Amino acid sequence: MTPSAPGPALRVDALSFRYPGAGFGVRVESLALAPGEQVLLTGGSGSGKSTILHLIAGLIEPDAGHIFVNSTEINRLRAGARDHFRGRHIGMIFQTFNLLQGFSAVENVLVALMFSDLPRAQHRPRALELLASLGVERANAPIDQLSVGQQQRVAVARAVACSPALVLADEPTASLDPQNAEEAMTVIQQSCRACNAALLCVSHDPSLVSRFERRMTMPQLATTSAAIGGVLSSTSGGGAA
Amino acid sequence: MSMTDLTIVRKSLAAHFVSTLITALSVAIAVALLVVLFSLREHAQNSFKRGTGNMHVLISADASPLTSVLNNVFYANPPQKKLLMSDLDRLGLTPAAAAPGAEPTTRPRDPRLEWAIPVQSGDSFRSFKTMATTADFFAKFQPAEGVPWTLRDGAFFDGTWQAVLGDTVARQTGLKVGDEIYITHGWSNRSHAPVPGDTPATKTDDHDHDHADHNHDHDAPGDGPHIHNDHPIVIVGILEPTGSPHDRAVFIPLEASWIMHADEARAAAEPTPRPAREDNLTPDEKAVNAVYVRCRTNTIIGSFFDEMRRTQGITPALPNNQIVALFQIVGSIDQIILAIGVAVLVSSIVSVMLAVYSSMGQRRRQIAVLRVLGATRGRIVSLVLTESALIATIGALAGSALAIVGMRIASSVLLDRTGIYVDPWIDPLWLLVVGVATVLLGAVAGIVPALSAYRTSVVRSLRPLG
């Protein structure tokens, strides 16, 4: 599957990774996300979903294979260049938000913009505008004074602040109650659409399934553990519930 | 305002405010200590030159030149040896008898000399030392080169039973012009610390004839306190501070000292002693401890000094050389003190390292988040080094302020306690040298925690808690 121009937001070919010294590993034969495309990857905990996100983000290096983000092969970049590239082109959202404690909402977004190409003078206006559009009312409040729902919105704002080509969401609703989860997912998907970022969302929350047109399960996407080495099937398009 | 590395560092320091404060304080104390030590060292030698002032050569019969300078200029101990005025006559240090009708001169007979001022110490008033001398001591000798004596009140002495007080004496005793005092023979071991509200007049209480440490071999023991009751001394002048040990001295005319000592000696030796008067003093009763000498030109000093050194029973001293020699003796102690200062600085830098390192544990998640957001390992290392250097910088700045205040305090305490004036001015160069060294050491202290930050595993640190 080779989407026509513009190039895919994400393309993964023959990727394999094994944790050093451990038996656990993952292998992905093929995966591609078109610009703005939103994909849900489901699977039980420990199935290697997060590992795949970390590989795509360049936080860990694969043993073999290719990862292209926005047509740049991220695993061929040197460490420093890979960090820079991640800051500019990949946004990440976490289950525990991973917001910087002691920083205000707007400061959390400003930290992300530090590593962007955006001129400094535009950082604060951009951060405030983004927070307002996501419904964060107290942009200058310390992060720990915001509700959980508001915190996740700040985390989303931070992820899309640099207008990334790809947003990786790792169990974004797992810490939220159903109502907040619903709202957070809406915000994430809308934000990605607004900046035409592709979204790869990893979750074991079945209630999210209906929100994605394209979804896949871990066994469909990747072989893990002892299964590595066998032929793996990759599924795209709908209907993989 | 956009976010900068410095903002992140500042927030991190604020998050560990108490630890940051304590660490910066320990750096500040070390910096202040080191700057003060450096400055004191630099100023101490200059300070010792105050006191010897514009004197070229110090003549005495002491055992060594250093002893001579310490005893006759810095009042370290009562001088042990005496010179008679007749000895000084023979050496050409006294003025020629005035020709009939001519103005009497105080210029010494030796034509190479500009002045020669005999001094005699060894007595005391309360805890202050007396210096018996001539009027030339105030007219020609300067306690610091180019700085003549000035009076805060009254006049210099021009009669026998008069005294001029050094600044510290006047301030600590509260004595005023017109008050009367009695001189104690020898140096009293008793503490006579002035008590606030204590009446300064001393007709009775400062009259102990303590012979425990008097050193004049012609003096007799066992005299009663009545003898010096005959010789109250009137304060006629109070000097402005000079920053020299002379600020702690009571100055009286030589004649007064001679008469008091002669009375004591005669009382011990004769059943019915004749009262001593200026005109019945024997040559043996006219003794001094040393002579302050200034040559007419600097080029004469060497030959005059050599000539004196060859003279039997005379110990000439070049005061400045003796002070340099003294500093060579104490030089190793000096280096030990400096080494302690450096050790304190290093240990405070180690505390910076520990403070930053111990905060790393709590910050792995923050580091991981910064990495996810695009910070390179190098940027993280630089953040940690900056933080460590910033603590050191805060410490260095506070320490510099502390040093400036500390020097003023140390200077005034030294002046009050020892009479040694130490310039409180701190060379900005020392502040700069110590400050820059501290900031650099601070950055070095950040290396270990920075390496720990460098190795932080992003993936592991991002895992959900629990």
Look at A80 and B378 and tell me if their CB atoms are within 8 Å: yes
B4-8, B189-193, B196-200, B307-311, range with greatest mean pLDDT: B307-311
Instruction: For Cα atoms A189, A192, A194, give the angle at the middle one, nearest 5 degrees.
Output: 110
Percent of chain A with pLDDT over 90: 63
Greatest Cα pair distance in chain A: 53
For residue B127, pLDDT over 50 is answered with yes
Interval B35-56 mean pLDDT: 80
Residue B170 reports pLDDT greater than 70 = yes
**Among residues 198-257 of chain B, which lie with CB inside 8 Å of chain A?**
none
Which are the contacts of B220, defined by CB distance < 8 A and separation ≥ 6?
Answer: B264, B265, B267, B268, B269
Lowest mean pLDDT among A210-219, B227-236, B388-397: B227-236
Q: Determine what percent of chain B is predicted with pLDDT higher than 70.
A: 88
Q: CA–CA separation, B252 vs B436, rounded Å?
A: 52
Measured between beta carbons, the chain A residues lying within 8 angstroms of B370 are 111
Distance CA B6, CA A221 (A): 43
Mean pLDDT of B452-460: 88
Of B11, B375, B459, the CB nearest to A115: B375
Rounded to whole angstroms, the Cα distance separating B52 from A193 reads 89
Taking an 8 Å cut-off on Cβ atoms, the answer to whether A114 and B369 are in contact is: no
Whether cis (ω within 30° of 0) applies to the bond prior to A142 is no
ipTM for the predicted complex: 0.89
Chain A residue with minimum CA distance to B458: A59
> What are the residues facing A81 on neighbouring strands?
none
Contact predicate B212/B258, CB 8 Å: no
Q: Tens digits of per-residue pLDDT, A72-103?
A: 999 999 999 999 999 999 999 998 889 998 89
Over 90: is that where the pLDDT of B396 sits?
yes
What are the structural domain ranges in chain A? 34-60+78-216
What's the CA angle centered on B431, arms B244 and B406, to 5 degrees?
Answer: 50
What is the Cα–Cα distance from B406 to B397, expressed in whole angstroms? 14
Q: What is the pLDDT of residues B59-68, one digit of tens each?
A: 999 999 999 9
CATH superfamily, with its number, for domain A34-60+78-216: P-loop containing nucleotide triphosphate hydrolases (3.40.50.300)
Would you tell me which residues 143-162 of chain A have a C-beta closer than 8 angstroms to some C-beta of chain B? 158, 162
Per-residue pLDDT reduced to its tens digit, B66-77: 999 989 998 888
Question: How big is chain B, counted in residues?
Answer: 466
Q: Is B359 on the interface with A (CB under 8 A)?
A: no
The answer to whether the Cβ–Cβ distance between B11 and A103 falls below 8 Å is yes
